[in-house]
């Protein structure tokens, strides 16, 4: 069976966030602001699934249980008056790996300045898919460079019972604070975001992610995707992108033997196609690999579109000998 001929001209670079774009975890500015020991916080989070099960729960989402613990810290006054505006402001303190955020624009510019690619109006879009806090990402200096972002969200003031008919208003004696989870993304449901990019529902809200859409009508074919992340927690997305012909790349913290061994193992297992240091400066292995992947996809788009045009127009008539 011949492979579908995709004529779509968008290349999606999809990025994990923690330890992929930044050296550590994005919650660090939050802990520093409230003078909380981050090591202690994460130790508590790691013990929560067992504690919940000891209380009689059968199922616990271990990837996102940290969100509940943040809300517990808010309720107990440790994260006093924490709200979405503060999370966004704290996001501005995040430090990125070398070469970022300029590398995001460099990828777009690389395609834009190639006349052959521009003849086919090929574009690069950058997306972030993270199990971290969306408001912190939006508050970071990389926000103006991205075309879409998925992350976890908090509700500050949930509607009262009887909503929307109940007109009773909240009586607040203090500023708005986060109190519920609005959206949670874990390592497996990250794949939903990938399908939303694939089908275009992230750009066209009327398209449901579960809608049946023929491959040739999807906005970004999987073979036009590049997924960059740091480790085993991204295996579900690596698997989807690899399976359908996209590119996968793992990064590790410069100088970390443990993380090098981890991503090296991922490549040996066929989970990723290549790996390199989390360094996106010009001339680095990682920057060159990603830029080369963009070029390979762009060349394939050009070839497919010109082939389709030739098939449609047909060859010109010629004289017989």
The range of the structural domain enclosing residue 271 comes to 10-165+173-311
CATH number of the domain residue 59 falls in: 3.40.50.1000
pLDDT digits (tens, 9 = 90+) for 275-316: 999 999 999 999 999 999 999 999 999 998 888 766 555 555
Q: Peptide bond preceding 101: is omega within 30 degrees of 0, i.e. cis?
A: yes
Q: What is the pLDDT of residue 103?
A: 97
> Greater confidence, 59 or 301?
301
Query: Does residue 278 sit within a domain?
Result: yes
Question: What is residue 317's predicted lDDT score, i.e. its pLDDT?
Answer: 54
DSSP string for 96-132: PPTTTTHHHHHHHHHHHT-HHHHHTT-EEEEEEEEEE
What confidence score (pLDDT) does residue 190 get? 94
Q: How many domains does the chain have?
A: 1
CA–CA separation, 8 and 121 (whole Å): 10
Residue 257 is assigned to a structural domain of this protein: yes
Instruction: Using the Cα atoms of residue 253, residue 257, residue 260 and residue 266 in order, give the sign of their dihedral.
Output: negative
Query: How much is the mean pLDDT over the chain?
Result: 89
Say if 154 falls within a structural domain.
Answer: yes
> Is 5 part of any domain?
no
Give a yes or no: residue 44 inside a domain. Answer: yes
Q: Closest Cα to residue 27, out of 87, 114, 115, 104?
A: 87
Q: What is the pLDDT of residue 305?
A: 85
261's enclosing H/E stretch is helix 257-268
pLDDT at 207 over 70: no
Measured distance CA(37)–CA(40) in Å, rounded: 5
DSSP reduced 3-state for 266? helix
| Sign of the C-alpha dihedral computed for residues 234, 240, 243 and 248 taken in this order | negative
4 within domain boundaries: no
pLDDT of residue 1: 43
State residue 57's pLDDT score.
Answer: 82
Whether the per-residue pLDDT at 318 is higher than 70: the answer is no
pLDDT higher than 60, residue 265: yes
Tens-place pLDDT, residues 208-259: 666 667 667 778 999 999 999 998 889 999 999 999 999 999 999 999 999 9
Q: What is the pLDDT of residue 121?
A: 92
Residue 3 lies in a domain: no
**Residue 118: pLDDT band by 50, 70, 90 thresholds?**
very high
Assess whether pLDDT exceeds 50 at residue 201: yes
* Structural domain contains residue 321: no
- Angstrom distance (rounded) from CA 115 to CA 121: 9
Nearby residues of 54 by Cβ (< 8 Å), 6 or more positions away: none
């Amino acid at each position: 069976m011949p492979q579908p001929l995709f004529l779509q001209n968008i290349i999606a670079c999809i990025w994990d966030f923690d330890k992929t774009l930044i050296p550590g975890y994005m919650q660090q500015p939050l802990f520093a602001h409230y003078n909380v020991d981050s090591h202690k916080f994460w130790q508590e989070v790691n013990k929560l699934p067992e504690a919940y099960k000891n209380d009689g729960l059968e199922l616990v989402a271990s990837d996102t249980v940290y969100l509940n613990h943040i809300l517990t810290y808010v309720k107990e006054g440790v994260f006093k008056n924490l709200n979405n505006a503060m999370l966004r402001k704290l996001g501005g303190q995040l430090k990125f790996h070398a070469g970022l955020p300029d590398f995001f624009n460099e990828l777009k510019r690389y395609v834009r300045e190639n006349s052959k690619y521009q003849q086919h109006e090929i574009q690069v879009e950058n997306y972030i898919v993270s199990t971290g806090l969306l408001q912190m990402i939006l508050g970071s200096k990389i926000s103006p460079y991205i075309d879409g972002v998925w992350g976890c969200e908090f509700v500050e003031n949930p509607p009262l019972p009887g909503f929307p008919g109940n007109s009773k208003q909240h009586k607040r004696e203090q500023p708005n604070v986060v109190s519920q989870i609005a959206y949670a993304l874990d390592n497996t449901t990250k794949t939903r975001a990938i399908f939303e990019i694939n089908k275009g529902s992230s750009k066209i809200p009327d398209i449901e992610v579960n809608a049946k859409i023929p491959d040739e009508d999807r906005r970004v074919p999987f073979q036009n995707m590049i997924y960059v992340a740091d480790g085993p927690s991204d295996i579900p997305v690596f698997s989807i992108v690899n399976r359908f012909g996209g590119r996968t790349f793992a990064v590790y913290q410069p100088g970390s033997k443990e993380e090098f061994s981890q991503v090296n193992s991922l490549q040996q297992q066929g989970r990723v196609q290549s790996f390199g240091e989390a360094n996106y400066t010009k001339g680095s292995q990682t920057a060159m690999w990603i830029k080369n992947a963009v070029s390979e996809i762009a060349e394939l788009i050009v070839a497919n579109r010109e082939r389709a045009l030739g098939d449609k127009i047909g060859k010109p008539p010629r004289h017989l000998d």
